[in-house]
Structure 1
């Protein structure tokens, strides 16, 4: 595989770190999490988050009427959510005359549920946003309330806490529609594998598609009762988007089969129907035929991580360094004799982009009647240490303890009802308060190395407006599910025929019109931003 000079240098520097991480995964027998915070950016001054706590001041908004806020997160709720909610509500009632209901979508069909939440008009006061939940498009379509005017009034501490350039970066059509997270991290993908099995059978270390495939083959041969590759029904995101990010150098997962290479942003092509897509689909068919994936993959709803931590599967095609670390913690508690290995894709393809401020945020949907109170509550979640620690780590002494400055889970992932960041609260991380387990030192080592080859994320600010092709877009979505997903999963006997059928149906749905309109908007954005 082609490797840039920078990436090649980084590889040699990083070999020791990758070894270090796999060793860490094996020998870190306590559930500790890394202490000092290398990712902190613009953390507030020490007193900033505790002003109202210390003085008992109320925010400058009308809190005379008691309200219940509907708060929506993606994914699955932790077991202890009810007691955490109860403790949050005791404080919120006193501080803001408000209570909150924490709602979760689950990871099954979350995108359909998300669409319904924003489209049905039901009461939602705060909802998670990211580029992968189409924040830019939803903001452009009026799904969220602009925050510019109410931020200084309802959440002055939060307003000054988030750096000005981050507020600027999340603006759509000149307005702020989400509160961005300030923690600097990389969510670039990397291969994850059972390192103890790799050592046992002397398999190659996965560093590119070829070596990853050799590893899967080795597992199939030596561990016949195990599935080599963890995969589920979301083959669009978890299989093809991830595969393309290591096999090619796209700037991200663009919709409608549109392909733009990071190095040539003005050159827009169609991946769908191309030789490159055909080759990739042939690879997927080979993986399916060889038994690397389960046959009923399109019916699997389990998370990718659970399949590995439970021992049912041996590898993930891609995951980010932080989630990899969470898996390490789980495995240490339940199977201390297992080890996990990790290889970040940027070391192979040279593209390491820190997350864009759009990546983790919270917006107030148009349906909310409690915008000021919602924002004042969210300020508490981010800047008030009591709310922040409780909703990120649970109850000290029950869910976790701090040993030598490191986070340590009490019990294991089965007995503990609130693991680290158990609420999926990535968006309200506060670098000043964050607790890390000891293994996280290894993740920080990865971040430090990626810092050396980092390139800016120049493209996440693009906001698609699909008004002109809304009907075609809905039709295309159905065509994808019916004809492309089985191809992605390697379940279609004749790839060439299957691809031709998909393209025919996609064109009937209006693919050409969609791609032309999207390309026009894309090129205007690239020109407007002066991106070369």
Structure 2
């Protein structure tokens, strides 16, 4: 019965992926978008360090007054799920926006489990959308190259987003450039964060498991949870965020710490670069240097799956391990430095001791986030792009707006005590309807945020350790031009969904045989062409620096 259900859910995942490709290929809305915003082709370099100014006939002078006499309603998309207190916060936000720029916003969410299927379709289907969260890992290059986003010019920024323009480094605009044009408003403050694994320190001690500082040493803890905590799954993973986390956490630490050189959102190119390598050498995944290491890691994850450490419905589950951890249903939570803050606070209220394991390379490093890791794009079909930019300027850079969307309503969701963000009397982390960092406004200016009163010594030590962990990645500002290899990448993505994900999730019968099948499929899909193009473009990029 389990085998039948697993086969069904895997097939379902493949069908969803195929539908996304079909939806992207039949995009009538893109024809309309191209009339107002010519579709770029991705580029390996940018001539300008900031957005180029639009011709005078196409862009109003910054000296001209902005007409906000007509009230407008904006529609924006964020990722994740809306907190319970979202409506109250949006009501307060809209009061401020109505007074300042005569606009209001309706926020809609794309859940993590629906990200692959829904994000492209929101833009392709001609839905009413003015702005949408975008990032290098969340469809920026793909959708910009299809003409789904409006170009952002320097004149736009100076007139409609003066606060953000003043706060943002030229490096951010250089990173965002695609063929010399900007289609994203990147954050002014790149995140200082690394992936982390949380475990229950109180349970580790209870069952006599030695201290764990490396992910590779976590198995005795998983076994202890499996044997002793009957209502808890050691790793209760979801299908979107968590599914391959165990594999990559283990592989980075014990084998090759690589990133996908082409970086296709929710896709896979089969081409890798080690982030600790300043030379930026590009490898095929099937180079023995990479493949042998991945096989070893995959065999460990398969053993965990076979032993019952990983939930059997992971490929279809939509509840993140972090949420299951908070509910006492998972012994592990996967997240990052920023998004675990609420989890730690809830655990403390429950009397749990939580321990943080940073997921790093064997050298103890992780690549510094680029500015593109969080941002907003204006939809090419937006009827009110100027007002959308004005709203983003306030939300991203005005402290009163920033605190509201990030922490909630002062006096209801937070108070300021002794220079720190604290909970009001009578409010707990569990009952707080708008936890910090939970609503998807990850692109705001985080340098304005006060520390949280709930930060314990371990979390503070973790934050302080980042200065010795984060390293520059040679391809942070590299944008791959995929125009010559689109069909190969699409086929690779299908092969990855069908043949690679099961390996990473530990659900295949034979790891060696599964990798052999995968290699056969990707060779036919055009891996050699992708590798050749990646080598050519990365070398050109490195030569231009």
Q: How high is the TM-score relative to the length of structure 2?
A: 0.79
Partners of 1:346 and 1:372 lie apart in 2 by 41
Partners of 1:311 and 1:59 lie apart in 2 by 57
Q: Answer yes or no: is the 8 Å Cα contact 2:413–2:423 preserved in 1.
A: yes
What SS is found at the alignment partner of 1:362?
A: strand
- Report what 2:269 is aligned to: 256
Alignment partner of 1:527 is 2:540: no
Aligned pairs for 1:468-483 (under 5 A) are: 468-483=484-499
Partners of 2:353 and 2:64 lie apart in 1 by 49
Quick one: structure 1 residues 242 and 366, their matched pair in 2 at CA, closer, same or farther if it must change by over 3 Å? farther
Give 1:428 deviation, angstroms: 1.2
Deviations 1:397-416, CA, capped at 9 Å, x for gaps: 22222233222234234433
Give 1:292 deviation, angstroms: 0.9
Partners of 1:378 and 1:428 lie apart in 2 by 9
- Among residues 178, 184, 196, which one is paired with 2:184 in the alignment? 178
| Greater relative contact order, per chain length (Cα 8 Å cut-off, separation 6+) | 1
| Aligned-CA RMSD value | 2.6
- Report what 2:15 is aligned to: none
Partners of 1:298 and 1:124 lie apart in 2 by 30
- Among residues 437, 445, 451, which one is paired with 2:467 in the alignment? 451
Partners of 1:61 and 1:479 lie apart in 2 by 50
Alignment partner of 1:374 is 2:396: no
- Report what 2:90 is aligned to: 85
Partners of 1:328 and 1:291 lie apart in 2 by 26
Q: Unpaired segments of 5 or more residues in structure 2?
A: 1-62, 262-267
Q: Answer yes or no: is the 8 Å Cα contact 1:88–1:387 preserved in 2.
A: yes
Q: Unpaired segments of 5 or more residues in structure 1?
A: 1-57
- Among residues 428, 447, 455, which one is paired with 1:412 in the alignment? 428
Deviations 1:3-62, CA, capped at 9 Å, x for gaps: xxxxxxxxxxxxxxxxxxxxxxxxxxxxxxxxxxxxxxxxxxxxxxxxxxxxxxx99322
What SS is found at the alignment partner of 1:342?
A: strand
- Report what 2:238 is aligned to: 232
Deviations 1:189-222, CA, capped at 9 Å, x for gaps: 2332110011112213333343122322232233
Give 1:227 deviation, angstroms: 1.3
What SS is found at the alignment partner of 1:488?
A: helix
What SS is found at the alignment partner of 1:499?
A: helix
Q: Answer yes or no: is the 8 Å Cα contact 2:421–2:453 preserved in 1.
A: yes
Partners of 1:514 and 1:76 lie apart in 2 by 35
Q: How high is the TM-score relative to the length of structure 1?
A: 0.81
Deviations 1:281-316, CA, capped at 9 Å, x for gaps: 211211111111012221211012011111111123
Partners of 2:210 and 2:270 lie apart in 1 by 33
Of 347-356 and 188-197, more deviation after overlay is shown by 347-356
Q: Answer yes or no: is the 8 Å Cα contact 1:143–1:366 preserved in 2.
A: yes
Q: Answer yes or no: is the 8 Å Cα contact 1:137–1:463 preserved in 2.
A: no
Of 274-283 and 201-210, more deviation after overlay is shown by 201-210
